[in-house]
Amino acid sequence: MKSHKVLLADDQTLFRKAISALLGSTPNFEVVGEAEDGIQAIEKAKELKPDLILMDVRMPRCNGIEATRQIKAELPNTKIVILTVSDEEEDLFEAMKSGAQGYLLKNLRPDALFEYLEGVVRGEVALTPAIATKVLNEFLRLTRHPPLSVPVSEVLTAREKEILQLVARGASNKEIANSLNITEGTVKNHLHHVLEKLHLRNRAQAVASALKDGLFSSK
């Protein structure tokens, strides 16, 4: 059986070494490199061209989701599995949109990790049960509330678009409130209305939807 080349990307040295030793105990996987942040992951992926990358989400300089997006753009055949402690829905859906083939939590048993990774190299998607439930719930939500067929610009008010643009620039609710001379409660109400109108779950999805429709530049 072919040994699959693996790149590990995680900012915790002890965790990388533990996973490296674990994968080294089986002939199916060979760890060919390690990266401690997203920038290193991108560089080493281009250099080593691994079959599989295990990617953490929260890392210095460049997070795992952005690193996944860039790597998949250049190496579409390289499979990437997010291996993280984060079960945040925003991280999950952004990771899947970036091209990841799996999203696993670090509390997995070793035998379960092997099973998931072997499935990924066969072309399957790796999702732990709790994560799979979140994905299913999102699918059901989208089925009940299909995406809008009209542009975002025609759905939102001028104030809602103004707030959404500030969100896209990374502003917090407090910063938006100060900038527009309104209360944080008012900001939250506007964002709630934006999500309701667009049938979305969180502010990241709202910004992505607005960018997709060309409402404003992400810069």
91/170 Cα distance (integer angstroms):
16
- For domain 4-140, give the CATH number: 3.40.50.2300
Residue scoring higher pLDDT (188 or 146): 188
Q: What is the pTM of this model?
A: 0.64
CATH, range 152-212? 1.10.10.10
pLDDT of residue 217: 47
Q: Enumerate the β-bridge partners of residue 5.
A: 30
CA dist 57 and 83 (Å) reads 8
More confident residue, 154 or 103: 103
Six-digit token pair at 128?
A: 């732990």
Contact at 8 Å (CB) between 145 and 199? yes
Per-residue model confidence (pLDDT) at position 139: 55
**Spatial distance between the Cα atoms of 120 and 126, rounded to a whole number of angstroms:** 6
Domain boundaries, the chain: 4-140, 152-212
- Write the DSSP symbol of residue 149: S
Tokens of 60: 């210095």
* pLDDT score recorded for residue 150: 63
Per-residue pLDDT at 206: 74
**pLDDT tens-digit profile of 93-107?**
888 888 888 899 999
Question: For residues 18 and 65, what is the distance between their CA atoms, to the nearest angstrom?
Answer: 22
